[in-house]
């Protein structure tokens, strides 16, 4: 028999009855207001197409290539490292809504504005999906008022909203939304439906990014634990296993093609992972059928059988993926100078004080709030729902400690508990007699016990403490204005810094050697070694590219963070030499205004031996 929602924290003054649709309408209005504010704040992007991250620019290029005839299963970037091309592992799931909106808008406003409007609106539409999911999740946990407050927290949390701003079209928003849908499935009072919802959400997540793997294991473990404790939860666990395995397999066939089930790739859903997942999906219901669910021991043995068989299959199919880090294949130089410098993929102890606090404080507040909600729950079902959130939040927090960019998932899972605590405190404060005390205390709670206020206060403290150690920000060489000089060049292949590459593809007709996307290890390594090697050795590296014909131009931006890092690590390297204004004889600088950030050099073939040059490997 389905249980009623957990009672919300009570407060003494009588409150008028509010229709459920009023609360839903308030949540919808809050999302629309948030969208309006963000569109206003990012309005300049509609004229300049400003992307926060190079991955967003690359995502738009993926969509453009697809719309211009590139095959559905081919997600490579053929203007990267020509003629070989730059292999990619991104999913068409993320491309689809962007492409659909562009196709819808092109006849109405033209191709240029269609691209810009689509890039502005798609993240906000994803935020709408996340808002609705969090509202339903928190309502299942503790009623409509906690749900409305959870929505308010969501739409004011900078660590979450940063992935849903206009022009933030990369896959991170999708990952957060899928995590919220899976959480919603854990709280569904219909176990079969909830398990299917969570399983399908994680199948989509895993198709988008292999970063979903630890979360899939986390949700599977929580469902298995609930199944072992209570036989009524067995349908949820079984439905999760079948939906996860079946959904992952179907999506792999549809979006990657049949060959993907036979090719091992450690950085995406492939043969290394799909067969263990299918084994889990098949073995779990079979074990439940054979062993039964009459006792805890039988339920535990059935769950262990499904998981054990999946692990055994992974040991047979995982191959090199068993060793862990797929980025080691980049080679030592690229691994150290590129991958280890990507802070969003590094653990909390490698971050600054301000960032570390932003990762941990909302999660810890959520954990303590959710634990308190579980302790104060009035019935067993409500307590188990809160305990489930505690387990998932604890696991998500552990992942975020290891990988910075995972913090948003943990902060989303923390929202119902924080909303419950705030509502309980606000209602308690309203019973106080003194108005001044009520106002001041309510304001203090709103500042210190919300993710936005907590992070803001921490950043102010941490920034003040570290002010003397601040490093100046690099020049934005990815902007439309900065790349304008490239339009004067004939179509060419450019040897340019990795972080500028995606914007060059989007904003110009040129090709580049490398971008910061790890499957193109050859291009990444060539760019890094070319800029860090001494000029003579750099020439051998650069001239060897493009099937021995070499690129047409070398492009650099001396104050970009990437280039500054090359100069500091290799003061005798090509990047440092160019920054000093003394280019080697084989590079002819093109005229440029003194304040122009971009510097362009034409390669001069002095010996006629470009095709025979041998690359230098550091």
Q: What is the mean pLDDT of residues 179-188?
A: 96
pLDDT tens digits, 295-354: 899 999 999 999 999 999 999 988 888 876 666 666 677 777 787 777 788 888 888 888
Site of tokens 């299917």? 196
Q: Kindly report, residue by residue over 222-278, the tens digit of the pLDDT.
A: 999 999 999 999 999 999 999 999 999 999 999 999 988 898 888 888 899 999 999
Name the region of 601 (left: φ>0; alpha: ψ -120 to 50; beta: rest).
beta
- Please tell me whether residues 412 and 501 are part of one structural domain: no
Quick one: 212 and 341 in the same domain? yes
* CATH number of the domain enclosing 549: 3.40.50
The answer to the question of residue 441 being in a domain is: no
Half-sphere exposure of 259 (CA within 13 A, CB side): 2
Strands 587-589, 553-557: pairing is: unpaired
- Residue 43 covered by a domain: no
* Nearest-angstrom CA–CA distance, 183 and 188: 9
The model's pLDDT over 521-556, given as tens digits with 9 standing for 90+, comes to 889 999 999 999 999 999 999 998 888 888 999 999
Concatenating the DSSP letter of every residue in 118-145 gives HHHHHHHHHHHHHHHHHHHHHHHHH-HH
pLDDT at 517 (0 to 100): 87
CA dihedral 461, 463, 466, 469 (to 10 degrees): -170
- Using CA atoms, how far apart are residues 324 and 344, in angstroms rounded to an integer? 18
Q: What is the mean pLDDT of the chain?
A: 87
Which domain covers residue 196, as residue numbers?
A: 53-419
- In the numeric block, which tokens belong to residue 286? 């079979």
- Starting at the edge strand that comes first in sequence, how are the strands of the sheet with 553-557 ordered? 511-512, 493-495, 553-557, 598-603, 587-589
In order of 221, 376, 382, 405, 573, the CA distances from 401 in angstroms are: 20, 28, 29, 9, 35
Residue 332 domain-assigned?
A: yes
> Looking at the domain assignment, is residue 341 inside a domain?
yes
Q: Helix, strand, coil shares of the chain as percentages rounded to 5?
A: 65, 5, 30
Same domain? For 67 and 181 the reply is yes
Give the residue with greater pLDDT, 587 vs 550.
Answer: 587
Would you say 339 and 327 are in contact if contact means Cβ atoms under 8 Å apart?
yes
Tokens of 604: 């001069």
pLDDT for residue 616: 30
- Number of domains, the chain: 2
Q: What distances in angstroms separate CA 13 from CA 310, 377, 441, 442, 604, one per listed residue?
A: 55, 21, 18, 16, 82
Do the domain assignments include residue 599?
yes
In sequence order, the 6+-apart residues with CB closer than 8 A to the CB of 461 are: none
Tokens representing 45 are 């992007």
Take residue 584 and report the two structure tokens written for it: 């080697």
pTM of the model: 0.91
Over residues 369-390, the mean pLDDT reads 92
Q: Is the pLDDT of residue 220 over 70?
A: yes
pLDDT value for 410:
95
Looking at the structure, tell me whether residues 311 and 170 fall in a common domain: yes
392, 531: one domain: no
What pLDDT is stored for residue 521 in this prediction? 85
**Whether 338 and 199 share a structural domain:** yes
Q: What is the pLDDT of residues 47-65, one digit of tens each?
A: 888 888 899 999 999 999 9
Could you tell me which residue, 290 or 21, shows the higher pLDDT? 290
Residues 292, 411, single domain; the answer is yes
Distance CA 1, CA 191 (A): 11
Does 475 fall in a domain? no
């Amino acid at each position: 028999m389905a249980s009623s929602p957990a009672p919300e924290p009570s407060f003494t003054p009588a409150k008028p009855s509010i229709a459920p649709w009023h609360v839903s309408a308030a949540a919808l209005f809050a999302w629309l207001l948030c969208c309006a504010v963000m569109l206003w704040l990012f309005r300049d992007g509609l004229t300049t197409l400003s992307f926060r991250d190079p991955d967003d620019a690359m995502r738009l290029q993926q969509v453009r290539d697809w719309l211009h005839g590139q095959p559905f299963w081919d997600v490579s970037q053929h203007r990267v490292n020509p003629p070989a091309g730059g292999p990619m592992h991104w999913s068409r799931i993320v491309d689809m809504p962007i492409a659909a909106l562009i196709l819808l808008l092109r006849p109405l406003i033209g191709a240029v504005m269609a691209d810009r409007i689509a890039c502005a609106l798609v993240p906000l539409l994803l935020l709408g999906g996340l808002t609705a999911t969090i509202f339903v999740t928190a309502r299942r946990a503790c009623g409509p008022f906690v749900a409305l407050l959870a929505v308010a927290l969501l739409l004011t949390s900078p660590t979450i909203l940063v992935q849903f701003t206009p022009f933030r079209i990369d896959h991170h928003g999708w990952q957060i939304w899928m995590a919220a849908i899976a959480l919603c499935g854990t709280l569904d009072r219909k176990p079969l439906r909830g398990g299917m919802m969570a399983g399908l959400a994680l199948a989509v997540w895993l198709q988008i990014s292999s970063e979903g793997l630890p979360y899939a294991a986390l949700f599977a473990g929580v469902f298995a634990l609930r199944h072992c404790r209570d036989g009524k939860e067995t349908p949820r666990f079984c439905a999760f296993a079948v939906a996860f395995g079946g959904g992952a397999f179907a999506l792999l066939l549809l979006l990657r093609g049949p060959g993907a089930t036979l090719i091992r790739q450690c950085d995406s859903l492939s043969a290394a992972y799909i067969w263990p997942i299918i084994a889990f999906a098949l073995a779990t219901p079979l074990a439940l059928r054979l062993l039964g669910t009459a006792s805890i021991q039988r339920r535990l043995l059935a769950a262990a059988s499904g998981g054990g068989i999946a692990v055994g299959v992974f040991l047979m199919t995982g191959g090199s993926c068993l060793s862990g880090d797929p980025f080691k294949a980049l080679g030592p130089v690229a691994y150290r100078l590129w991958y280890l410098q990507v802070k969003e993929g590094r653990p909390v102890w490698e971050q600054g004080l301000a960032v570390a606090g932003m990762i941990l404080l909302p999660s810890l507040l959520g954990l303590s709030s959710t634990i308190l909600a579980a302790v104060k729950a009035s019935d067993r079902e409500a307590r188990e729902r809160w305990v489930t959130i505690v387990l998932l939040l604890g696991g998500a927090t552990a992942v975020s400690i290891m990988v910075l960019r995972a913090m948003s998932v943990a902060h989303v899972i923390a929202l119902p508990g924080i909303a419950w605590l705030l509502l309980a405190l606000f209602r308690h404060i309203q019973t106080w007699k003194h108005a001044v005390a009520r106002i001041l205390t309510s304001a203090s709670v709103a500042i210190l016990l919300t993710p936005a206020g907590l992070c803001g206060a921490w950043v102010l403290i941490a920034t003040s403490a570290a002010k003397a150690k601040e490093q100046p920000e690099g020049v934005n060489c990815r902007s439309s204005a900065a790349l304008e000089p490239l339009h004067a060049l004939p179509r060419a292949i450019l040897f340019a810094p990795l972080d500028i590459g995606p914007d060059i593809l989007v904003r110009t007709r040129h090709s580049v050697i490398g971008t910061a996307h790890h499957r193109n290890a050859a291009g990444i390594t060539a760019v890094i070694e070319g800029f860090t090697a001494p000029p003579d050795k750099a020439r051998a590296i650069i001239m060897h590219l493009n099937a021995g014909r070499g690129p047409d131009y070398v492009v650099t931006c001396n104050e970009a963070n990437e280039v500054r890092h090359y100069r500091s690590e290799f003061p005798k390297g090509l990047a440092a030499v160019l920054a000093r204004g003394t280019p080697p004889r084989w590079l002819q600088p093109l005229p440029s205004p003194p304040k122009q950030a971009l510097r362009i050099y034409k390669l001069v073939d002095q010996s006629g031996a470009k095709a025979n040059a041998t690359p230098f490997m550091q």
